[in-house]
Chain A
Amino acid sequence: MEFNRKDILDMESLSADEINMILDTAVSMKEISGRSIKKVPTLRGKTVILFFYEPSTRTRASFDIAAKRLSADSISLTGSSSSIVKGETLIDTARNLEAMKPDIIILRHACAGASHLLAGRLKSAVINAGDGMHAHPTQSLLDLFTVREKKGSIKGLRIAILGDISHSRVARSDCIGFTKLGAEVVLFGPPTMIPKGIETLGVSVAENIEDAICGADVVMMLRIQKERQKSFLFPTEREYSKVFGLTREKLKNVKDDILIMHPGPVNRGLELASDVMDGPYSVILDQVTNGVAVRMAILYLVAGGVRNADTD
């Protein structure tokens, strides 16, 4: 099978075969990261622009390391250094960047659909590194990779995703990604954070946290934005951690080999109790390690697509 996709915009547009191909490619990419010389010449001469309108140290570093391990030249632009503050539109800014002939643009943006807007206008490959509340496909792919690595397969697993589903692009992408590969996804969070019609993504909503995690193979905890308290989504951090946070107490009746995941950064003690975060079930740091491998795989596959397009 050949990977012919110009852009990676969301999990919806990727087929199960394409997802598996990315995950398979990531296996060999992970091996590169384990070497003492962590660099291969695969993308030598390719230019990757990391275009981050919204700050994200972690995702940006992960992409940057991935690009460098493949010998691509990467440059970073952040929201404050970009021209948007001077009134230039996203499309204009992107056109200017494209005039410098990059091969891949990685976009992080606070508005849903921003990467779709760019992808439709630009010849460069566009990789969505998170757009508003919509999608975060590379995070979802690294989640899938981590679960597959630990469990052997994703089909038939039960994945619980807990917390602020409404505002989480990771939750949306994970719902689609995990169900696409045959897992069952159950959600739970405060009713103020469960968006209308989420069931149309093929997932169910549990009535309480015990129901959600009972029998689960994976529990994905989501980060709570503390400032959401101002929009009345939850009364206090104290109550949130008590009712909706994951504590050792609540893990009494779960499977022995349950995985606890979190897209990071974690609010220690809020959505995740400190001892659970550092406990035996947690694979949060594996997710970070795998993030580099998955992003290397994506850059590699997408750059291949660009190379093919150039010869047309």
Chain B
Amino acid sequence: MLILIKGGRVIDPGRLDGINDILIKDGKIAEISSEGSTAFGSELKEINATGKIVTPGLIDMHVHLREPGQEYKETIKTGCAAAARGGFTAVCPMPNTNPVNDNRQVTEYIMGKAALEGKIHVYPVGAISKGLEGSALSEYGELKDAGVVALSDDGLPVMNSMLMRRAMEYAGGFGLPIISHCEDLDLAAGGAMNEGEVATSMGLPGIPNASESIMVMRDIAICELTGTPLHIAHVSTKESVHAIRDAKARGIPVTAETAPHYFTLTHDAVKNYNTSAKMNPPLRAAADREAVRQGLADGTIDVIATDHAPHAAYEKDVEFELAANGIAGLETSLPLSLQLVEDGLLSLTDLIDRMSKAPARILGIDNSLKPGAPADITIINLEKSYIIDAPSFASLGKNTPFDGLQVKGKAVVTIVGGEIVWKGRGERSSRPQAAPKKVLYVNPKQ
């Protein structure tokens, strides 16, 4: 079948920005033209993209799909459906499944399931260490062969510096980047939220900024030693941003990501023991949020990823210190990120780069709007205003601090390999009358 995306503003960062038509044939981009299309016959399906933005498919390089092992939280099927709705054509699930993705069988299981019922691309991340135990390397050669695109012990930092060194040296030989969850477990021990005046007044044990940045600095040092590309996951502190900026200036092959909650919220969101704002790393202070925003603006932080962490309601509906960490992020990432453009921090092109091209570059995935490339495309309506409605998420995880927030901007069509996997049909919120929450963050420059 042929698909013609007509009249949209096509932005392929670094290559293209203008009103164009895109013709998709056999799952690939066949033609891009600004001339207006000719007749292609009755087989043609036309998508009117007038007034919309057409971009290379968004990639979320940091998600937790929970399958195998915790299918009550999320399955590959529901996670991929949530991703498609959020405008993502590809996701990278972290290896902390049960069993851990540290071997060919698990990687193949995930990829097989994804091919069967996922509809979008799933590029698994393999474990740095066997069983995420931090004591022995997993088999990178076999993992790479099975299809992993990167290695990480996400959620469980590699505390042993020698193991981290060997992991980076060995991974370098297979061209696999290491994604590091930076956390010094001794320094973070017992913590439930960001250390600071909010934690002090609520009587919650704190997690200091240094527990993150100390490991960012260590891993940069190991990256410098080994030369293997290092990608730092979910940056949340100003000290981390500074360290990464310095490392990049010195030419060290380090890249970094942050998540929408770190550039939108602060630890104030935790007040009243709000477990939907509990995550690791924790939401930080206003100065950290500002540093993360500036880091995104100047390219110190390359990627916006979600760290999508779905949980069952009962795992959040408990004492704060006992509540599970993380938020469901796939269906809120795009509008929250577009707020950066609204705030004047990022150009639209740069934002699309942070959400599609940069993750593709880091992971070595072909993701562009060149003729001949796979037709992975996201069409975005920048003007659509709506209220985030967690109960209607496609994800099984409804855990988000953004429920009820008024936002603007939505993926209206998601195309993967030439197939439409998501198309917004003027879907209605289950509670259209709900009053929106007040804006969570106002850019100080406005």
- A: which residues have CB within 8 A of B? 12, 89-91, 109, 111-114, 116-117, 131-135, 169, 172, 195-198, 200-201
5 more A-B contacts (CB under 8 A) besides A132-B321, A169-B203, A197-B200? A91-B317, A111-B319, A112-B320, A133-B204, A196-B196
Let me know if A195 and B273 touch, CB within 8 A: no
Let me know if A112 and B273 touch, CB within 8 A: yes
Let me know if B205 and A133 touch, CB within 8 A: yes
CB-CB under 8 A from A12, the residues of chain B are 201
Q: Interface size (B, Cβ < 8 Å)?
A: 21
Chosen A-B contacts, 25 in total, with CB atoms closer than 8 Å, are A89-B314, A89-B317, A90-B318, A91-B317, A111-B322, A112-B202, A112-B203, A112-B273, A112-B319, A112-B321, A113-B204, A113-B320, A114-B319, A117-B273, A117-B318, A133-B203, A134-B203, A134-B204, A172-B201, A196-B196, A196-B197, A196-B200, A197-B196, A198-B200, A201-B200
Let me know if A109 and B200 touch, CB within 8 A: no
Give B321-364 interface residues, CB cut-off 8 Å to A: 321-322
A-contact 0/1 string along B6-38, CB 8 Å cutoff: 000000000000000000000000000000000
Shortest A30–chain B CB gap in Å is 29
Let me know if B317 and A112 touch, CB within 8 A: no
- B: which residues have CB within 8 A of A? 195-206, 272-273, 314, 317-322
Let me know if B321 and A89 touch, CB within 8 A: no
The docked-state distance in angstroms from the alpha carbon of A8 to that of B89 is 51
CB-CB under 8 A from B196, the residues of chain A are 196-197
Let me know if A116 and B317 touch, CB within 8 A: no
CB-CB under 8 A from A131, the residues of chain B are 203
Nearest residue (CB) in B for A200 is B197
CB-CB under 8 A from A198, the residues of chain B are 197, 200
The docked-state distance in angstroms from the alpha carbon of A169 to that of B202 is 10
Let me know if A132 and B272 touch, CB within 8 A: no
Q: A90-B318, A91-B318 in contact; A112/B204 too (CB < 8 A)?
A: yes
Nearest residue (CB) in B for A121 is B317
CB-CB under 8 A from A132, the residues of chain B are 203-204, 321
What 8 A-B pairs have minimum CB-CB distances, sorted nearest first? A197-B197, A134-B203, A113-B273, A111-B319, A133-B203, A112-B203, A195-B200, A200-B197
Shortest B382–chain A CB gap in Å is 38
CB-CB under 8 A from B322, the residues of chain A are 111
The docked-state distance in angstroms from the alpha carbon of A89 to that of B322 is 10
Chain B interface mostly: helix
Q: A90-B319, A113-B273, A117-B319 in contact; A134/B200 too (CB < 8 A)?
A: no
User: When A and B form their complex, what is the total count of cross-chain residue pairs whose Cβ atoms lie within 8 Å?
Assistant: 68
Shortest B49–chain A CB gap in Å is 46
Shortest B409–chain A CB gap in Å is 33
The docked-state distance in angstroms from the alpha carbon of A172 to that of B195 is 16
Shortest B255–chain A CB gap in Å is 31
Let me know if A201 and B201 touch, CB within 8 A: yes
Shortest B15–chain A CB gap in Å is 48
Nearest residue (CB) in B for A173 is B203
CB-CB under 8 A from A90, the residues of chain B are 318-319
CB-CB under 8 A from A172, the residues of chain B are 200-201, 203
Let me know if A196 and B195 touch, CB within 8 A: yes
The docked-state distance in angstroms from the alpha carbon of A90 to that of B321 is 13
Shortest B276–chain A CB gap in Å is 13
Let me know if A116 and B272 touch, CB within 8 A: yes
Nearest residue (CB) in A for B315 is A89
CB-CB under 8 A from A200, the residues of chain B are 197, 200-201
CB-CB under 8 A from B200, the residues of chain A are 172, 195-198, 200-201
CB-CB under 8 A from A109, the residues of chain B are 319
CB-CB under 8 A from B205, the residues of chain A are 133
The docked-state distance in angstroms from the alpha carbon of A116 to that of B319 is 9
The docked-state distance in angstroms from the alpha carbon of A172 to that of B203 is 8
Shortest B207–chain A CB gap in Å is 11
CB-CB under 8 A from A169, the residues of chain B are 203
CB-CB under 8 A from A133, the residues of chain B are 203-205
Nearest residue (CB) in A for B197 is A197
CB-CB under 8 A from B204, the residues of chain A are 112-113, 132-134
The docked-state distance in angstroms from the alpha carbon of A113 to that of B320 is 7
Let me know if B320 and A196 touch, CB within 8 A: no
CB-CB under 8 A from B321, the residues of chain A are 111-112, 132
The docked-state distance in angstroms from the alpha carbon of A195 to that of B191 is 13
Shortest B204–chain A CB gap in Å is 5
The docked-state distance in angstroms from the alpha carbon of A132 to that of B201 is 12
Let me know if B203 and A135 touch, CB within 8 A: yes
Shortest A64–chain B CB gap in Å is 24
The docked-state distance in angstroms from the alpha carbon of A311 to that of B196 is 44
The docked-state distance in angstroms from the alpha carbon of A195 to that of B195 is 9
Nearest residue (CB) in B for A112 is B203
The docked-state distance in angstroms from the alpha carbon of A12 to that of B202 is 10
Shortest B185–chain A CB gap in Å is 14
Shortest A14–chain B CB gap in Å is 15
Nearest residue (CB) in A for B192 is A112
Shortest B191–chain A CB gap in Å is 12
Which of A109, A116, A195 has the most chain B CB within a 10 Å cutoff?
A: A195
CB-CB under 8 A from B272, the residues of chain A are 116
The docked-state distance in angstroms from the alpha carbon of A201 to that of B203 is 12
The docked-state distance in angstroms from the alpha carbon of A9 to that of B223 is 50
The docked-state distance in angstroms from the alpha carbon of A196 to that of B193 is 13
Which of A12, A109, A112, A131 has the most chain B CB within a 10 Å cutoff?
A: A112
CB-CB under 8 A from B195, the residues of chain A are 196
Shortest A163–chain B CB gap in Å is 16
